[in-house]
A = this chain, B = another copy of it.
Amino acid sequence: MKLIKNNLSEKLIINKYFKKLNLKKRGTFNFENDGAYLDLNNKNYKLTVTTDSISEDIDFLSNDDPTSIAQKITTVNLSDIFAMGALPHSYLLNLHLPNHINENWLNSFSHRLKKIQSKYGFYLLGGDLSKSNKLIVSSTFFGFIKKKLEIYQNKFNLNDDILITGNIGESKIGLEILKKKLLSNTNLKQYFIKKYLYPRPCKLGPLIAHHVNSMKDISDGLIGDLTDMLNDKYGALINVNKIPLSVKTKKILNIKKNYRIENLINAGDDYGLIIISNQKNRNKILSIANKNNIRISCIGKIINEKGIHFDSYLDIKNIKKFDHFC
């Protein structure tokens, strides 16, 4: 039996905290094999795969609540699955655990995973545990998409709509409040901190997949991710007034005069979707979003002139791009 210094064995961790997440699916071998299998058994679907990691001191702080870390690792991956127009199916977890991780931590972490699994309908297929001096959580997610569906992040046409879901910048405001770079009253404070600690993926992707040309989740900021999507052929014209901000964010912008929309359009961890689609599909997409109570905004269109352009002046030259890798 494998022991780590605080007397938690690998077997105990797996049996007590993670076996409940495999939902007794046959292909998991109840975590008693080194591998697992996926029996797709459906000729109309193919399997999507995405993998993402989050690390202590980069994507979260060491004393962040384990429920927040569980929420983040699933959201970063689920939002990629949804952006591909897929539905989540199962996932693998690679946990690199420092010595201070104890049973309370594992209990909260796995309990939150179970809750998220139930919400979106997927299960834990397997994983790997190792020791580390910093906490790193990697995950690989599997999803299903219709056989013929293939959503590139950079294939679209002139005059296509640019739409985004959700609100921009709330997670960034939460992080700046936590870092004490931004002060606020107690109510607003709790609201924004929750947005940062518990980001949600946008499940609209698979519902509109047949009506879009490209989709991507906003993980590195609206401008950063839109720049990634724009190929060498086209640019984007953004209608600044249409960039969606919550009432509470507008309140912050009103109170803090040196804090402006420029600070928010390149903030990371929004996890809404950027959707690029033919104008003729606009009403269909808006209506599906509305039926599902998902805020959606048409913020601009694809133009000939390369780069990102705004219909009113924004002082963006001094904005540093959000960067997970820096």
In the complex, chain B residues whose CB is within 8 Å of the CB of A321? 2
Alpha-carbon separation in the docked complex, A325 to B321 (Å): 38
Pick from B58, B126, B128: contact of A131, CB below 8 A: B58
Answer whether A32 and B2 are a contact pair too, CB < 8 Å, given A51-B127, A84-B37.
no
Pick from B36, B47, B48, B219: contact of A50, CB below 8 A: B36
In the complex, chain B residues whose CB is within 8 Å of the CB of A52? 128
Q: State which residues 36-54 of A face B: CB under 8 Å.
A: 36-40, 43, 46-53
Alpha-carbon separation in the docked complex, A46 to B37 (Å): 7
Flag if B134 contacts A132 (CB, 8 Å). yes
In the complex, chain B residues whose CB is within 8 Å of the CB of A127? 51
Answer whether A53 and B128 are a contact pair too, CB < 8 Å, given A35-B80, A46-B37, A136-B136.
yes
Flag if B2 contacts A53 (CB, 8 Å). no
Pick from B27, B51, B152: contact of A126, CB below 8 A: B51
Q: A145: CB under 8 A from chain B?
A: yes
Answer whether A46 and B40 are a contact pair too, CB < 8 Å, given A152-B33, A324-B130.
yes
Q: A216: CB under 8 A from chain B?
A: yes
Determine the residue in chain B with the shortest Cβ distance to A57: B133
> In the complex this chain forms, how many copies of it are found?
2
Q: A55: CB under 8 A from chain B?
A: yes
Determine the residue in chain B with the shortest Cβ distance to A40: B40
Q: What's the tally of chain A residues with a CB closer than 8 Å to chain B? A: 62
Alpha-carbon separation in the docked complex, A126 to B49 (Å): 8
Determine the residue in chain B with the shortest Cβ distance to A83: B34
Alpha-carbon separation in the docked complex, A152 to B3 (Å): 25
Pick from B36, B128, B131: contact of A138, CB below 8 A: B128
Flag if B130 contacts A33 (CB, 8 Å). no
Determine the residue in chain B with the shortest Cβ distance to A214: B33
CB A148 to nearest CB in B, in angstroms, measures 10
Alpha-carbon separation in the docked complex, A307 to B13 (Å): 23
Q: State which residues 267-312 of A face B: CB under 8 Å.
A: none
Determine the residue in chain B with the shortest Cβ distance to A37: B48
In the complex, chain B residues whose CB is within 8 Å of the CB of A37? 46-49, 84, 145, 150
Flag if A81 contacts B35 (CB, 8 Å). yes
In the complex, chain B residues whose CB is within 8 Å of the CB of A53? 94, 96, 128, 130, 138
Flag if A34 contacts B50 (CB, 8 Å). yes
CB A129 to nearest CB in B, in angstroms, measures 6
Closest 4 CB pairs of A and B: A35-B50, A2-B325, A34-B80, A38-B47
